[in-house]
Structure 1
């Protein structure tokens, strides 16, 4: 049995009854689409919220948050006489649910999985890749006529493992313009180095100082470091600027300028809401904090980057996505949809 609880327990409110759900097989992946039956008959356009579940959970885990957000938007859209519709899509991440191959490969070092670092990173990087493929084909499965609406906006909301994946989605997929990162981390190297310390791995404890030879060891191989340099936010945008076992070097002007250039290429015009628990020990806020500080500094220095970033820490919350986070995410998404709706009418 896993030691990791479901971070979404207790999220759903009885005041938000379930919305319609239909499951389609798209490119060999079971994708559940929420809210199709509730779309306004005359809606010319639709926003799609992609929902990415936590580790050790399944796509069904995301049904409550799908219902909550869609119900909230439909109430607000009706009140504001908006024509925009909203649907949500969830699918099993690799090696989860209907795609399960080996349970051990979803577990951590402490649960006996020696390839925890490789397994987790490749899983959620694969999720970002899968979402792009599903995005290519979803519309042809759910809208079938010339008078059908079109999907004009894509957002992602991920929790825990799905939160890590959300960073990859917003960074690498141009069609994703907004992300809610729930208890996820933008710096995989720092996150896993800290987890190796807590797990007392030999590759961490046997060196002097501790952890100095962990990166590049069998528990964190060189090829994994290369993948992180291509896809992880901290590894791609600010390579070699974060030291997980000691003081961080200060980026040079050239390195920081490169950081801002990549931000403009990857995130210009996008919106990110980062939700973290102050007492989270599994994915501690401190693991991503240096990168988040650098991001905030860059946005402050150069407002022309046009990236809206909101970072919210919840007191008394551990590795969980409680109702307070769900409500914040719901309100943020509805506000974003309303702004987009208003711009489209200008």
Structure 2
């Protein structure tokens, strides 16, 4: 995946060390005047909305990739917004576990084809680690921003029930998109909007089809493997070594929860897929996405013809056009 062209001088960048994770936050300077404007509000204020877009990079990438996207999305967001007074948008990036500055063993980010027999375990455990890291950052970022200090004592006296309402937006790419789905499954009440790109809601089927090298056109590829017991997978001894029974029980339970109980009516979604994606085929998520669109009128799913496992300018452009209408 390419690094998007961007102007690093266009928006501010600050760095916080949150729980040992280097966390980069963009465009925070717009928050001061926005929040101070509430000090002079003639009406009672209950909520001060703060839009925060968390960008979660792909396997093999690092925060430099999502940093370029942060600048690109911010530029498009402010350019496209027609509101006289635009609600600020800030972006957050960080290196995922075993990536970038947090790299420990590069080989453990590889798949089965490239010789990593622990691919399934490594990928899924890293996803859940990313979920935990994102929750940590989301919990503590408001304290590092210290936005309460921008409001006067008079405002706080006059508005007894005011509160900052962080509208968290999760934008993930490939591995990052897998992380988005898992995060919402764990913490649905913390998320306002999701933007999964070339991701998969059904990791059981993704990994089992990848392990068994099932053809996209085969009947087996259409199966929801999370509904199958471990014995029903009919794995060889070698395949069982690569995909242990305990992993299948843990992973398939999550996949079933996401497939059947995801809060589609509460969380707005803009998803994007490459029509020719062979690594994370869109068909694994197609039924789920159709259900989402039938449940939530604010949902859009974009499938780009002629594109494989990639994030394109058009995917980002369409997402930002949708975002300015939704916020």
Q: Which of 178, 201, 210 does residue 195 from structure 1 map onto?
A: 210
1:273 and 1:87 map into 2 onto residues whose CA distance is 18
TM-score when scaled to structure 2?
0.79
Q: Which of 239, 245, 251 does residue 228 from structure 1 map onto?
A: 251
1:98 paired with 2:101, answer yes
* 2:59 counterpart residue number: 55
1:165 paired with 2:161, answer no
2:22 and 2:89 map into 1 onto residues whose CA distance is 20
1:181 paired with 2:196, answer yes
2:285 and 2:146 map into 1 onto residues whose CA distance is 40
Q: Which runs of 4+ in 1 moved over 4 A?
A: none
1:282 paired with 2:296, answer no
* 2:241 counterpart residue number: 218
Match of 2:272, SS state, is strand
Q: Which runs of no fewer than 5 residues in structure 1 stay unpaired?
A: 1-6, 201-209, 239-258, 338-346
2:92 and 2:319 map into 1 onto residues whose CA distance is 16
Match of 1:114, SS state, is coil
CA-to-aligned-CA distance 1:7-34 (integer Å, 9 cap, x gap): 2x153356x9642211110011111101
Cα displacement (A) at 1:91: 1.0
Cα displacement (A) at 1:115: 0.4
1:65 and 1:36 map into 2 onto residues whose CA distance is 16
Cα displacement (A) at 1:321: 0.3
- Structure 1 residues 329 and 17, CA, compared in 2 at 3 Å: closer, same or farther? farther
Q: Which of 28, 50, 70 does residue 74 from structure 2 map onto?
A: 70
1:144 and 1:291 map into 2 onto residues whose CA distance is 38
1:120 and 1:53 map into 2 onto residues whose CA distance is 14
Cα displacement (A) at 1:47: 0.4
1:241-320 mapped onto 2 (5 Å cutoff): 259=260, 262-263=261-262, 266-293=263-290, 295-296=291-292, 300=294, 303=295, 306=296, 308-320=298-310
Say if 1:191 and 1:288, in contact at 8 Å, map to a contact too. Answer: no
1:336 and 1:172 map into 2 onto residues whose CA distance is 24
* 2:314 counterpart residue number: 324
Q: Which runs of no fewer than 5 residues in structure 2 stay unpaired?
A: 36-47, 152-162, 216-231
1:291 and 1:76 map into 2 onto residues whose CA distance is 30
- Report the number of matched residues: 287
Q: Over aligned residues, Cα RMSD in angstroms?
A: 2.8
Cα displacement (A) at 1:310: 2.0
Match of 1:111, SS state, is coil
TM-score when scaled to structure 1?
0.75
